[in-house]
Structure 1
Protein backbone atom coordinates (compact mmCIF):
# COMPACT_ATOMS: atom_id res chain seq x y z
CA UNK A 1 0.00 0.00 0.00
CA UNK A 2 1.34 3.41 -0.92
CA UNK A 3 1.65 5.63 2.14
CA UNK A 4 1.51 8.72 -0.05
CA UNK A 5 -1.90 7.74 -1.35
CA UNK A 6 -3.29 11.02 -2.58
CA UNK A 7 -2.08 14.54 -3.22
CA UNK A 8 -4.95 15.89 -1.13
CA UNK A 9 -3.93 13.99 1.99
CA UNK A 10 -0.28 14.92 1.52
CA UNK A 11 -1.30 18.53 1.12
CA UNK A 12 -3.42 18.38 4.27
CA UNK A 13 -0.48 16.83 6.15
CA UNK A 14 1.79 19.64 4.97
CA UNK A 15 -0.74 22.27 6.04
CA UNK A 16 -1.07 20.74 9.50
CA UNK A 17 2.72 20.53 9.83
CA UNK A 18 3.00 24.22 8.97
CA UNK A 19 0.38 24.90 11.64
CA UNK A 20 2.59 22.95 14.06
CA UNK A 21 5.48 25.23 13.11
CA UNK A 22 3.33 28.29 13.83
CA UNK A 23 2.19 26.71 17.09
CA UNK A 24 5.79 26.15 18.15
CA UNK A 25 6.85 29.62 17.06
CA UNK A 26 4.00 31.22 19.03
CA UNK A 27 5.64 30.20 22.32
CA UNK A 28 9.39 30.84 22.66
CA UNK A 29 9.85 27.94 25.09
CA UNK A 30 8.24 25.52 22.63
CA UNK A 31 10.36 26.80 19.75
CA UNK A 32 13.58 26.69 21.77
CA UNK A 33 12.86 23.13 22.87
CA UNK A 34 12.32 22.10 19.24
CA UNK A 35 15.53 23.86 18.23
CA UNK A 36 17.47 22.22 21.06
CA UNK A 37 16.18 18.75 20.20
CA UNK A 38 16.60 19.13 16.44
CA UNK A 39 19.87 21.06 16.45
CA UNK A 40 18.37 23.57 14.03
CA UNK A 41 18.48 27.33 14.27
CA UNK A 42 15.86 29.76 13.00
CA UNK A 43 17.57 30.15 9.62
CA UNK A 44 17.67 26.38 9.08
CA UNK A 45 14.01 26.08 10.08
CA UNK A 46 13.03 28.77 7.59
CA UNK A 47 15.12 27.12 4.86
CA UNK A 48 13.49 23.74 5.54
CA UNK A 49 9.88 24.85 5.89
CA UNK A 50 8.93 23.65 2.39
CA UNK A 51 10.68 20.26 2.69
CA UNK A 52 8.16 17.42 3.18
CA UNK A 53 10.66 15.45 5.28
CA UNK A 54 11.11 18.43 7.62
CA UNK A 55 7.34 18.83 7.83
CA UNK A 56 7.13 15.18 8.83
CA UNK A 57 9.72 15.83 11.53
CA UNK A 58 7.53 18.64 12.87
CA UNK A 59 4.65 16.21 13.19
CA UNK A 60 6.99 13.69 14.83
CA UNK A 61 7.97 16.34 17.36
CA UNK A 62 4.41 17.16 18.38
CA UNK A 63 3.48 13.46 18.41
CA UNK A 64 6.39 12.68 20.73
CA UNK A 65 5.01 14.89 23.51
CA UNK A 66 1.49 13.99 24.59
CA UNK A 67 0.86 17.32 26.33
CA UNK A 68 2.02 19.27 23.29
CA UNK A 69 -0.05 17.02 21.03
CA UNK A 70 -3.22 17.50 23.05
CA UNK A 71 -2.81 21.28 23.24
CA UNK A 72 -2.11 21.55 19.51
CA UNK A 73 -4.99 19.25 18.60
CA UNK A 74 -7.45 21.14 20.78
CA UNK A 75 -6.35 24.55 19.51
CA UNK A 76 -6.78 23.36 15.92
CA UNK A 77 -10.00 21.39 16.33
CA UNK A 78 -8.33 18.08 15.50
CA UNK A 79 -8.38 14.68 17.08
CA UNK A 80 -4.87 13.52 17.99
CA UNK A 81 -5.52 10.39 15.93
CA UNK A 82 -5.92 12.54 12.83
CA UNK A 83 -2.43 13.93 13.31
CA UNK A 84 -1.10 10.36 13.47
CA UNK A 85 -2.94 9.56 10.22
CA UNK A 86 -1.56 12.65 8.51
CA UNK A 87 1.97 11.87 9.66
CA UNK A 88 1.86 8.73 7.52
CA UNK A 89 1.43 10.92 4.42
CA UNK A 90 4.86 12.56 4.71
CA UNK A 91 8.33 11.07 4.19
CA UNK A 92 10.10 9.39 7.06
CA UNK A 93 7.10 8.10 9.00
CA UNK A 94 7.73 5.04 11.12
CA UNK A 95 5.91 1.98 9.83
CA UNK A 96 4.29 1.34 13.21
CA UNK A 97 3.27 4.95 13.76
Structure 2
Protein backbone atom coordinates (compact mmCIF):
# COMPACT_ATOMS: atom_id res chain seq x y z
CA UNK A 1 0.00 0.00 0.00
CA UNK A 2 1.25 3.45 -0.88
CA UNK A 3 0.96 6.20 1.70
CA UNK A 4 -0.48 9.58 0.79
CA UNK A 5 2.93 11.14 1.41
CA UNK A 6 4.64 8.69 -0.97
CA UNK A 7 1.89 9.28 -3.53
CA UNK A 8 2.37 13.04 -3.29
CA UNK A 9 6.10 12.64 -4.01
CA UNK A 10 5.52 10.44 -7.06
CA UNK A 11 2.73 12.71 -8.32
CA UNK A 12 4.97 15.75 -7.95
CA UNK A 13 7.57 13.93 -10.06
CA UNK A 14 4.82 13.33 -12.61
CA UNK A 15 4.08 17.05 -12.68
CA UNK A 16 7.77 17.81 -13.17
CA UNK A 17 7.92 15.22 -15.97
CA UNK A 18 4.86 16.73 -17.60
CA UNK A 19 6.33 20.24 -17.36
CA UNK A 20 9.41 18.96 -19.18
CA UNK A 21 7.30 17.96 -22.20
CA UNK A 22 6.02 21.27 -23.54
CA UNK A 23 3.61 19.88 -26.15
CA UNK A 24 2.11 17.47 -23.64
CA UNK A 25 1.93 20.21 -21.00
CA UNK A 26 -0.03 22.39 -23.40
CA UNK A 27 -2.40 19.48 -24.05
CA UNK A 28 -2.88 19.07 -20.27
CA UNK A 29 -3.57 22.78 -19.86
CA UNK A 30 -6.08 22.73 -22.70
CA UNK A 31 -7.82 19.63 -21.37
CA UNK A 32 -8.09 20.87 -17.79
CA UNK A 33 -8.55 24.59 -18.31
CA UNK A 34 -5.59 25.20 -16.00
CA UNK A 35 -2.85 27.71 -16.73
CA UNK A 36 0.81 27.92 -15.77
CA UNK A 37 -0.08 29.97 -12.69
CA UNK A 38 -2.45 27.24 -11.55
CA UNK A 39 0.36 24.73 -11.79
CA UNK A 40 2.62 26.84 -9.61
CA UNK A 41 -0.16 27.55 -7.13
CA UNK A 42 -1.35 23.94 -6.88
CA UNK A 43 1.86 21.95 -7.21
CA UNK A 44 1.51 20.68 -3.63
CA UNK A 45 -2.25 20.09 -3.74
CA UNK A 46 -3.09 16.38 -3.75
CA UNK A 47 -6.30 16.89 -5.71
CA UNK A 48 -4.46 18.78 -8.45
CA UNK A 49 -1.67 16.20 -8.52
CA UNK A 50 -4.36 13.55 -8.92
CA UNK A 51 -5.53 15.34 -12.06
CA UNK A 52 -1.98 15.18 -13.40
CA UNK A 53 -1.94 11.43 -12.86
CA UNK A 54 -5.42 11.08 -14.38
CA UNK A 55 -4.09 12.85 -17.47
CA UNK A 56 -0.99 10.65 -17.73
CA UNK A 57 -3.13 7.54 -17.25
CA UNK A 58 -5.10 8.46 -20.38
CA UNK A 59 -2.32 7.16 -22.62
CA UNK A 60 -0.23 4.02 -22.14
CA UNK A 61 2.73 5.63 -23.89
CA UNK A 62 2.73 8.50 -21.37
CA UNK A 63 2.59 6.01 -18.50
CA UNK A 64 5.52 4.09 -19.95
CA UNK A 65 7.58 7.22 -20.65
CA UNK A 66 7.05 8.63 -17.16
CA UNK A 67 7.65 5.26 -15.51
CA UNK A 68 10.79 4.58 -17.53
CA UNK A 69 12.14 8.05 -16.73
CA UNK A 70 11.89 7.32 -12.99
CA UNK A 71 12.47 3.56 -12.87
CA UNK A 72 8.91 2.74 -11.80
CA UNK A 73 6.93 -0.32 -12.74
CA UNK A 74 4.21 0.55 -15.22
CA UNK A 75 1.39 -0.01 -12.73
CA UNK A 76 2.90 2.44 -10.23
CA UNK A 77 1.02 5.45 -11.65
CA UNK A 78 -2.27 3.59 -11.23
CA UNK A 79 -1.51 2.65 -7.61
CA UNK A 80 -0.30 6.14 -6.77
CA UNK A 81 -3.48 7.60 -8.24
CA UNK A 82 -5.54 5.36 -5.96
CA UNK A 83 -3.71 6.74 -2.91
CA UNK A 84 -4.65 10.36 -3.69
CA UNK A 85 -8.04 12.00 -3.13
CA UNK A 86 -10.57 11.06 -5.82
CA UNK A 87 -8.62 8.02 -6.93
CA UNK A 88 -10.46 5.42 -4.90
CA UNK A 89 -11.87 2.52 -6.86
CA UNK A 90 -15.65 2.62 -6.52
CA UNK A 91 -17.38 -0.30 -4.88
CA UNK A 92 -20.20 -1.28 -7.22
CA UNK A 93 -21.87 -3.78 -4.94
What does residue 95 of structure 1 align with? 89
Q: Which residue matches 1:21?
A: 15
TM-score where L is the length of structure 1 = 0.85
Match of 2:56 in 1: 62
Structure 2: segments with no counterpart, 5+ residues: none
CA distance in structure 2 between the aligned counterparts of 1:94 and 1:38, rounded to whole angstroms: 20
| 1:75 match | 69
**C-alpha displacement of 1:28:** 0.9
Shift of 1:40: 0.5
Once the 2 structures are TM-superposed, how far is the Cα of residue 48 of structure 1 from its aligned partner? 1.1
Report the equivalent of 1:44.
38
- Contact kept, 8 Å, 2:14 with 2:52, in 1: the verdict is yes
What is the TM-score of this pair, normalised by structure 2? 0.88
- Distance in 2, matches of 1:93 and 1:85, equals 9
- How far is 1:94 from its partner? 4.7
Query: What's the RMSD between the two structures over aligned residues?
Result: 1.5
